[in-house]
Amino acid sequence: MSVEAWATFAGFWVVFVTSPGPNAVNCIRNGMTFGFTRALWGVAAILTQAALFLFLSAIGVTALIKASPAAFLAAQIAGAAVLLWLGVRTWRRAGRPLTAEAAAPARIYGHAFLVATINPKSVAGYLAAFSQFVSPNVSIGQQMWAIVPTALGITFASYAGYTALGAGLGRAALSAVANVAVRKGLAACFILYGAALAAAALRGLP
């Protein structure tokens, strides 16, 4: 993976994991309820889910590359469409209140893993994001050495930050993360990324 491709991926991943949603709200509420240190079990659950979904996405992309370059190109275009959909969906829901249930102390990890797994952007979003940034001409295994540490590092920083926000600011943090302008700004980033990546994929058409 080139430096340029890595930087583009890292920039996208920042937007992807900082977009306010169930994971962010759950981390904030865990921080408010259990304190920063104990609430980090919730962050660990999100990292587990992220590692699992990255692995599954890599398997899916590898299968497409081996099966057909045309299928891989179709997946790239479909992935870009998913990012556009996520952006439009986030924009339309920017004014709605964010809600999430705080888990009991003994269930912080399991609850956070469940929230992360059923998050609407998780399944489609990980495959969409992953399919855009891998090169079909380079071993997926080699590229994973750059993608996985970057993705997990940014994911940890994001949700540990939300957890610290909850522990430090209490309920005021929920108002900050639910700010309509912030959520629309992140939605616009999804839309711009999706449009740019779709254009790049379409340039690969014969």
Give me the number of domains the chain comprises: 1
pLDDT digits (tens, 9 = 90+) for 140-173: 777 778 888 999 999 999 999 999 988 887 777 7
Tokens at 30, concatenated:
């865990």
CA distance 142 to 91: 36
The amino acid present at 58, given as its one-letter code, is: A
pLDDT digits (tens, 9 = 90+) for 47-74: 998 888 888 777 765 565 556 667 667 7
Say which residue the tokens 């590092």 belong to: 153
The amino acid present at 83, given as its one-letter code, is: L
pTM exceeds cut of 0.95: no
29-43, 131-145, 153-167 — most confident range: 153-167
Range of the domain at 151: 3-202
Taking each helix axis from N to C terminus, what angle separates 120-133 and 3-18, rounded to the nearest 10 degrees? 170
Confidence band of 99 (pLDDT split at 50, 70, 90): low
